[in-house]
Structure 1
Amino acid sequence: MDSKGEQYFPTYKFDEKSRDVLLKEFEEAQKIANTQTQAYAQVTNLILLAFAIIIPLFISKEKYSIDIKEYSLIFVFVIFIFGAILLRYFIEVQKQIIFNARKVITLRLMLGIDYGHINLTLPNWRVEGATNPFAIKFFAGWLNFRSTPFWILTIALNILFASSIEMKDFSFTIMYISKFFNINQEIKIPWYFGNCIITFIYYYVFRKNLVDRHENLYLIYIKKLANIFKLKAFLDTEYILYRAKLSVIELQRLNIDYNSMYEILKVIEDHNYDKHNGVDFKALVRGALSQFKVYRSYHNNKVKAIMVKSGGSTITMQLTRTLFIQTRQNALKRKIFEILFSFWLNKQFSKKEILDFYIASVRFENKVLGLANAIKFFFGDISKLTNEECFVLVERLSNVSSTFKEERIKFLIAKLEKKNIVLNKKNIYAIYSSLEKDNKIKKI
């Protein structure tokens, strides 16, 4: 079996017998995907034809015109419900099409079939050319052919609604509501207000349901804002999260025991981690103040100020920056979107899951990403980390200069002791001395 299959699907065991099963699954998935796409197009055409016949009959002034002005609200409600049921049908069919298309790509990767980088003939967003299952989106855009049912239903129902009400004074009267609330004066609402409600509800139902596993409307609008403000970000969030999960699985496969790191990491990087919702605004203020030298000076090897230089980012914000936001751009803009993305990330995963993503993905040293690589770089092959080794790894987080300060180490050890986490200082300094001797880090 191709090594790429093992890379992308580490929990799956590959052998020749499984290859035959995969081939059968691949053929079946491809057949279903093609059949569903054809059925989707046919039903869409039938709905378009039906409304093309009904609308002229409904708005016609001839004697065969349907006179329902007296029951306009009831009729509008009925066609609205009917349209909503049809819209839900199209949504579910579209989901099944995408799932099968992704299954085709996934099975193709597992079988070792890769068309390579030939986007000029088979673009990556087409099933035939895609090598990433997440390149096939549930929602491909409002002008994509898969959005046609939404436009047909919305436009047709708006026309039927507008033609079913009395439009002499561009308003319709809600008599039943007036009677229910004992209001003598009739309530009049502009007719186009109903069109806006229909459009908004159909938009909400259609867009809200065509999302990936961890996607929601909040994330959709954050991505749109990121594009408007030209933020350099990796917006293929589902694929990025998938890769982060693979990194955690790799740690589990290597049987690395890093349980001691959790508490040390939280105390040093984010002591309110278990309390906040992804963003600690007090820490942000403290981080802003710490940029001023008066708040972070040292005197006679003792910490003079309460605070040391800090960005005020929580663990969730640091993970967001690592996974989704490119560096070397406007710091304020980047920080704002870190906050926005962090609220979403905190809702999608548990605190424990976020910590695992962080440990498995974050940069520990220049060009050393993830705990597995960090352990190999600093300590070689080990399966269980001591508290002192965990401390060194956490202290090395996001260090691109490969340097260390003794004053900072003392400060962090004292910080842990206040939380009743006692470390062997002699062992810690021995680790730093060994790393310095191996030219992996240097003292300043």
Structure 2
Amino acid sequence: MYSDDEPAWRQHFPTYHFEERDVALEEYRLTAKTLEADERVFLNAANISIVIGAAFGSLALGNLNALTSSLAPYVPEVATLFVVLLVSIAAGVIFLRYFADRQKAIVFAGRKLIVLRRMLGMSYGRLQLVLPNWRIEGADEPFALRLFPGWNTYVAYPCYALAGISSVVVFFVGATVLSKVFGANHISASLHPLFLAIGLSVAWFAYLCWLYRKALLDTHESTSFLVARTIVNNG
């Protein structure tokens, strides 16, 4: 049974080979444990980062006036607000990059598991009535597991949460900064700070989502490919 299936997987993975089946089985077990650990880390980190992000956001917004007032004799109020804004922006980028790296580790471990499963002679076939072939439980092709399966999947949830928290902080702090700058320079009332703050926070949310998606580009994907596919799908 194993020798009959060998040419099939060698056709798909010609550079892979193993000499002892026990070594491949041990590698399979190790990869399965690694995948389980990576998934657990991803979920735990998502919960912790959301709690930390929400706590930081509420703390920054709740004590914003007290912070700027206490530092006013030494640091200009606008400069303090800019520092809070930069910290929020940097935290959003760093956290999202971390989750993108964790997602890559999960997918690569899953793809390795599929390859080893094929090399060991196991295949679930093309029928997906019981096991879907786009999930690791029934997939026969490594690239069936996508780095970014979609905006409606669990992979995008950390992006929504962290980008949302960061955008809310950017909105309130940005509105405060703009109101002070506008008030000091007497800029035209048509450029209302509220509308600029809303536009700034929406743009920042969209940029974080794009940054997260770009970090999860697969080997055969590119930013131009994503733009072209979006235009075709919405055209």
Q: If the TM-score is normalised by the length of the shorter chain, which range does it land in?
A: 0.7 to 0.9
Residue 92 (structure 2) pairs with residue 92 (structure 1) = no
Aligned-residue offset at 1:171: 4.5
Partner residue in 2 for 1:202: 208
> Is contact 1:123–1:129 with CA below 8 Å preserved after alignment?
yes
Partner residue in 2 for 1:192: 198
Q: Deviations over 1:357-387 (max 9, x none)?
A: xxxxxxxxxxxxxxxxxxxxxxxxxxxxxxx
Partner residue in 2 for 1:126: 135
Equivalent residue runs for 1:393-408 within 5 Å: none
> Is contact 2:49–2:95 with CA below 8 Å preserved after alignment?
no
Partner residue in 1 for 2:46: 44
**Aligned amino acid, residue 230 of structure 2:** K
**Aligned amino acid, residue 211 of structure 2:** V
Pair 1:96–1:51, CA change in 2 (3 A) = same
Q: Which has the higher contact order (CA 8 A, sep 6+)?
A: 2
Aligned-residue offset at 1:166: 4.3
Q: More strand per residue: 1 or 2? A: 1
Residue 91 (structure 2) pairs with residue 82 (structure 1) = yes
Equivalent residue runs for 1:231-310 within 5 Å: none
> Is contact 2:57–2:166 with CA below 8 Å preserved after alignment?
no
SS of 2:114's equivalent in the other structure is helix
TM-score, structure 1 as length reference: 0.44
Equivalent residue runs for 1:364-403 within 5 Å: none
Partner residue in 1 for 2:73: none
How far apart, CA to CA, are the structure 2 residues paired with 1:83 and 1:206?
Answer: 10
Aligned-residue offset at 1:221: 2.4
Q: Deviations over 1:33-83 (max 9, x none)?
A: 1100011000100112223334444444xxxx3324522222111111122
Partner residue in 2 for 1:137: 146
Partner residue in 1 for 2:8: 4
Aligned-pair identity in percent equals 29
Residue 171 (structure 2) pairs with residue 162 (structure 1) = yes
SS of 1:78's equivalent in the other structure is helix
Pair 1:160–1:12, CA change in 2 (3 A) = closer
How far apart, CA to CA, are the structure 1 residues paired with 2:186 and 2:57?
Answer: 33
How far apart, CA to CA, are the structure 2 residues paired with 1:52 and 1:201?
Answer: 20
RMSD: 2.6
Asked which structure has the greater CA Rg, the reply is 1
> Is contact 1:4–1:110 with CA below 8 Å preserved after alignment?
no
SS of 2:132's equivalent in the other structure is coil
Aligned-residue offset at 1:173: 5.1
Partner residue in 1 for 2:72: none
> Is contact 1:91–1:209 with CA below 8 Å preserved after alignment?
yes
Q: Deviations over 1:132-163 (max 9, x none)?
A: 11010001111211111111111101111222
TM-score, structure 2 as length reference: 0.80
Partner residue in 1 for 2:24: 22
Aligned-residue offset at 1:185: 6.5
Pair 1:101–1:13, CA change in 2 (3 A) = closer
> How many pairs were matched up?
214
